[in-house]
Structure 1
Amino acid sequence: MFKIGEFSILSSISIHMLRNYDKIGLLEPKYIDESTGYRYYSKEQLPIANQIVALKVMGFGLKEISNMQLENMQLDKLKEVLQNKIIIKEQEIKQIKRQLSQMENALNDLEKEENFAFSIVTKRIPPRKVASFRMKIEEFPDEGTLWQTLGDECAKLNVEFADNDYAIAIQHEINFDDNYIDVEVQRTVEKVMEDTDKIRFFDVSSCDVVSLAFQGGYYRLKDINLYLAKWIIQNEFEICGPVFNIYYVSPEHEKNEDKFITEVCFPIKKRK
């Protein structure tokens, strides 16, 4: 039998950690002297101690190791545990590589005095019920007429808007040859109503997006759209739906364009 200090030297596990392992039931002393409280370990426990050290080096946590019950674990089960851990670690490596790539791209952008990278997030837009009006316009500023029509029609119907009222504009198509932009504007509502000859009511499913929220005038939209499209390619996503903008502070609420707050959203999915 070895005293705790002796076993600590033989196992390369500190006395403090041996006491902690005892506390959590990972490696309990073979014998405790009730009169002195001294802990004693047996030579048969050295292989288990070495396995614990090896598993920690491989990245296993103490809780994981404790759940393995090493003293009773069969070889086939240990193989399965290691195979599963390898899969997890490979996924972590991929995630770290993605993070490093994003950091490198952000650093490059900062060197070019572009700071969009620190405003980009990926998130899920929740499902919602909407009132919608869609029409082809000639120029982007004409979008205001769509919002006016949607607002007037909703007022006639006494539509109740949702508490988390999203004002969303979706660009379905930009056709330079025929000189039109196919735009749809939406407001989130409490309930779906019967369609009219101008506006439609329907449910919109949730979707994953990469988004960038910014404060300022709409003249920045072109550069932001181009930057987001580049970011999507660099980070191995692909666009899977029409781009849309969420207006939090717009000309409807504020005349000073420097105070506009807009979120540009690109629906995305992971590239196969």
Structure 2
Amino acid sequence: MTEQVMAAIDGSQFSSAVCDYATWASLALEAPLTFLHVVNNHPQTAEADLSGNIGLGSREHLLEELSQLDEQRAKVAQEQGRLMLQAARKRAVEGGVTEPGTRQRNGTLVETLADLEGEIRLLVLGKRGETAHQASEHLGSNLERVVRTLHRPILMVPDAYQRPERVMLAFDGSKTTRKGVEMLARSPMFNGIPVHVVIVGAETGDNRSQLDWALAALREAGHEAEGAIRAGEVEGTLRAYQAEHDIDLLVMGAYGHSRIRHLLVGSTTTAMLRRANVPVLLLR
């Protein structure tokens, strides 16, 4: 089965940018593109105890009406999803993708993506979904669950598209980030895009050796690459470097080293995701 770029869309403000970044990634990777919309048919109305003063027959009648309303909501949601998928497909075709696919599934987003994981080369998601709180500090719970569940690269995007021109890899010499360097080096998605490798820490022999290895691997693969070792608090230092060099795509490992952090998204990654105004590619 051909691995593809899969873009999850919903009714949020992020859907247009998800379409555009997925189109860019599909063309760069020369991989098929599929848009996915998931309809959650779990009833939205809790079954309350309506038997009080109105009698059993009335209660049964009300529950029947609630059930019918749930069915109607599901049908409306499916039709809305079909229209969104059609619009996404049209947008991708106009962007140059040949025959993008569409899928609509019933269930939850996380369960659906887990089922489809074997088909995913890259997953593109909006920073927050349609039901997420819109405060900038809030990270959509769907995204956190997806990152914990999936073992595929995930591109989390902001609400406006900008073609990536400069990439920064947050590098710490760990197995995950060394894999990240190797992935960046060979991935056609980053052809012609300068890569910045940043280590946050002290200027030690080991850090310098790790950085030299990363830069050599990227340059041998034909990339323009530069690097830096910066002291300071991790998130603030990375954000400062991003602003200083006009970085428009971040690449990070999804987890830190500790076993406790392994239960959640790595703490630095979570902080960067919350405040990121550029796409973040999470590596597993």
> Which structure carries more relative contact order (alpha carbon 8 Å, separation 6+)?
2
**TM-score (normalizing by structure 2):** 0.26
Query: Relative to total residues, which structure has the larger strand share, 1 or 2?
Result: 1
**TM-score (normalizing by structure 1):** 0.27
The structure with the largest alpha-carbon Rg is 1
